[in-house]
Chain A
Amino acid sequence: MELLQQLVNGLALGSTYALIALGYTMVYGIIQLINFAHGEFFMVGAYAGTLVILAELPLWLAFPAAMTAGAMISLGVEQVAYKPLRRKNAGRLAALITAIGISIFLQNVMFLYPGADLIGLGTKNPLGMEKFIVGEIEISSSKAYIFLISIFLVFALVYIVHYTKIGKAMRAVSNSKEISMLMGINPDRVISFTFAIGGALAGAAGLLFALDQNQVSNFMGLMPGLKAFIAAVVGGIGSIPGALIGGLILGLLETLAVVLGFSPFKDAFAFILLIIILLIKPAGILLKSRREKV
């Protein structure tokens, strides 16, 4: 039963990773950039949501706040940093280094306000600590909410990508930027939209994570961000179902590591998984490997 219990925790954690991983995967799919700062959009969203909750406003207001904040910061970073680089054709190395710079910058901006680096939710956490019992397992309500909300958001994204006009444009641009331009699509607008959606999902994930941990801190985006990237790679970067599967695998693996008594090494497991996946199936679980051609 202990194991089933942990399975639920693993699924909740994994679905948070999956939400962040979706942002990575969409941005990578469309401009082949690993948006290193994505974990920080997660952090900004968590802060925004927490501030709403601390102001004693209802939870259904906190989610739009977190998602808007995540989308705004994501869009802002895209406009200020990535767009000029893209215009200059600066290359992937330059873009990646810029992304690292942005990530570290956003992590440390929080220090400018004393006391902002760690805020606890305390008793204001609306998810509370109640538990309900299904069969023989106890499920804490917060874990269940996290899982359900995450899955809902994933399906919302799938709907946007597959059944709306802008989603069609996103798929077109990721297929071929030049040809989509010929079809009258403005790739810059589509890329901005992709960043905004990815940021919104990361913001929501941040709020869920904050509710689970009952606190926010300025470094909270670093590890989940990296792990979500790993999740995206494990599932096959560029693929939306891949991000979901990768996230869940990583969440379960991490919980398993804690159950087996390796909790000090739990962060190491994710990186080992990354290296193993890259060695045996570099394109991820769901995608076919492609040889690079000239």
Chain B
Amino acid sequence: MSFAFIENIIAIIGVMIILSVSLNIINGITGMLSLGHYAFFGIGGYFGAYLTVLAHKWGFVNEFSGIPVFLLIIILSGMAASLAGLVISGPTLRLRGDYLAIATLGFNEILKIVIENIDFLGGPKGYSIYSELGNQPPQFRSNLILIYIFVILSIYITRQIMKSVFGRNLLGIREDEIAAESMGIRSSKYKIMAFLVGSFLAGIAGILFVMYDKFYANPKDFGFLEGIPVLLMIVLGGLGSTTGAVMGAFTLTVLLQILKLIPGISNQPVLVYAFLLIVIMILRPSGIMNRKELSDLEIYKKTRLKIIDLINKRHGDAES
């Protein structure tokens, strides 16, 4: 249990939080079951990796411009994933829940097959920034601080969405699409927008993941089966709850890391999480948080009041 090992787990938790929060916008809040979320993750990763190599080859990167260029690449990767989100949500949003699931799954698999057959992206071997740059590491990399800045940003964005009319409309579409439409909500427009936001954040998670320390984008990391744990995270936390998504991402990532240490099932974490998924759905389909947020919980409200009281008392004492 070295420091690097723990640091690595914390980084993975961060990436998973971004992914689960963004998937929650599509699956939990809008109620569209998308199984192709890892496609956006992969597009962000590949696109960002390719841009990184280009930036180095064209000499944009020196010791001063590293961070700004990297930030730009992160945003562009998110936008590339967003564009893919637009492409996939356009034709599929007329589909009802279960068809949408299969269509997005298909999109993910098509993308994986296409990437595996593109030569300049390394084909099935994957795209290594390291070897593209002549066995040099890139000048910049993602680190814990950067990852957690985006974690906070994604949670903040989701929170703001939930407070806005946009978020209310999404909830309305989830509860009853026909009723929402008859209230004047253009459901297709809002569904596309939900896809755009979700895929944008997933793309950012992708480039942060690729640039963490491997500098390597592998098509095998972005298949739909690999993405099932993220679905489990938001189901475990409670579909529709951002707090739940964060909790699910944390619990499950730690659980999977612990499972890796146990001999016997260390090769088969998949078996364990598939089993968990079934058990949760049968026993408590609403997950841990049951659509509630942290700020909805009694204990949070009480503690908050207590703290405010405490601060007021201090002030009062100081004044008298």
Interchain CB contact (< 8 A) of B271 among A96, A108, A265, A294: A108
Q: Which residues of B contact A226 (CB under 8 A)?
A: 102, 105-106
B282 adjacent to chain A (CB < 8 Å):
yes
Q: Which residues of A contact B267 (CB under 8 A)?
A: 111
**A108 and B268 within 8 A (CB):** yes
**A34 and B102 within 8 A (CB):** yes
**A97 and B106 within 8 A (CB):** no
Q: Which residues of B contact A270 (CB under 8 A)?
A: 106
Q: Which residues of B contact A294 (CB under 8 A)?
A: 178-179
CB distance from B114 to the nearest CB of A (A): 7
Bound CA–CA A229/B99 (angstroms):
10
**A100 and B277 within 8 A (CB):** yes
Interchain CB contact (< 8 A) of A278 among B95, B117, B275: B95
B281 adjacent to chain A (CB < 8 Å):
yes
**A93 and B31 within 8 A (CB):** yes
Interchain CB contact (< 8 A) of A104 among B114, B225, B281: B225
Of the four ranges (under 10, 10 to 19, 20 to 34, 35 or more), the interface on chain B belongs to 35 or more
CB distance from B141 to the nearest CB of A (A): 33
**A271 and B106 within 8 A (CB):** yes
CB distance from B246 to the nearest CB of A (A): 19
Chain A interfacial residues counted at CB < 8 A: 41
**A275 and B274 within 8 A (CB):** no
Closest B residue to A264 using CB positions: B117
Interchain CB contact (< 8 A) of B277 among A98, A233, A278, A279: A98
**A274 and B103 within 8 A (CB):** yes
Q: Given contacts A90-B285, A268-B114, is CB(A278)–CB(B103) below 8 Å?
A: yes
**B228 and A100 within 8 A (CB):** yes
A149 adjacent to chain B (CB < 8 Å):
no
**A98 and B270 within 8 A (CB):** no
Closest B residue to A106 using CB positions: B274
Secondary structure type dominating chain B contacts: helix
**B116 and A264 within 8 A (CB):** yes
**B31 and A104 within 8 A (CB):** no
A81 adjacent to chain B (CB < 8 Å):
yes
B255 adjacent to chain A (CB < 8 Å):
no
CB distance from B66 to the nearest CB of A (A): 38
Q: Given contacts A34-B102, A97-B235, A282-B95, is CB(A85)–CB(B110) below 8 Å?
A: no
**B97 and A96 within 8 A (CB):** yes
A102 adjacent to chain B (CB < 8 Å):
yes
B107 adjacent to chain A (CB < 8 Å):
yes
Interchain CB contact (< 8 A) of A229 among B95, B96, B102, B179: B102
Q: Given contacts A96-B33, A278-B103, is CB(A104)–CB(B228) below 8 Å?
A: yes
Q: Mark A87-124, 1 if CB is under 8 A from B, else 0.
A: 01011111011101111110011011000000000000
Q: Which of B102-125 contact A (CB under 8 A)?
A: 102-103, 105-107, 109-110, 113-114, 116-117
**A108 and B285 within 8 A (CB):** no
Q: Given contacts A111-B267, A271-B106, is CB(A96)–CB(B101) below 8 Å?
A: yes
B319 adjacent to chain A (CB < 8 Å):
no
**B282 and A85 within 8 A (CB):** yes
Q: Which residues of B contact A101 (CB under 8 A)?
A: 232, 274-278, 281
Q: Which residues of B contact A282 (CB under 8 A)?
A: 94-95, 99
Q: Given contacts A101-B281, A282-B94, is CB(A233)–CB(B110) below 8 Å?
A: no
Bound CA–CA A98/B110 (angstroms):
24
Q: Which residues of B contact A275 (CB under 8 A)?
A: 91-92, 103, 106-107
B208 adjacent to chain A (CB < 8 Å):
no
Q: Which residues of A contact B73 (CB under 8 A)?
A: none
B17 adjacent to chain A (CB < 8 Å):
no
Bound CA–CA A233/B107 (angstroms):
16
A272 adjacent to chain B (CB < 8 Å):
yes
A230 adjacent to chain B (CB < 8 Å):
yes
Q: Which residues of A contact B271 (CB under 8 A)?
A: 105, 108-109, 111-112
**A34 and B101 within 8 A (CB):** yes
**B277 and A81 within 8 A (CB):** no
**B109 and A268 within 8 A (CB):** yes
Bound CA–CA A271/B35 (angstroms):
14
A130 adjacent to chain B (CB < 8 Å):
no
B51 adjacent to chain A (CB < 8 Å):
no
A84 adjacent to chain B (CB < 8 Å):
yes
Q: Which of B220-268 contact A (CB under 8 A)?
A: 225, 228, 231-232, 235, 239, 267-268
A138 adjacent to chain B (CB < 8 Å):
no
Bound CA–CA A176/B76 (angstroms):
51
Between-chain CB contacts (< 8 Å), 17 pairs? A91-B285, A93-B31, A93-B33, A97-B231, A98-B277, A104-B225, A104-B277, A105-B278, A111-B267, A233-B99, A268-B109, A270-B106, A274-B103, A275-B106, A278-B91, A278-B99, A294-B179
Listed in ascending order, the chain A residues whose CB lies under 8 Å from chain B are 34, 81, 84-85, 88, 90-94, 96-98, 100-105, 108-109, 111-112, 226, 229-230, 233, 264-265, 267-268, 270-272, 274-275, 278-279, 282, 292, 294
Counting from the closest, the 6 A-B pairs by CB-CB distance are A271-B106, A101-B277, A105-B274, A104-B274, A101-B278, A98-B281
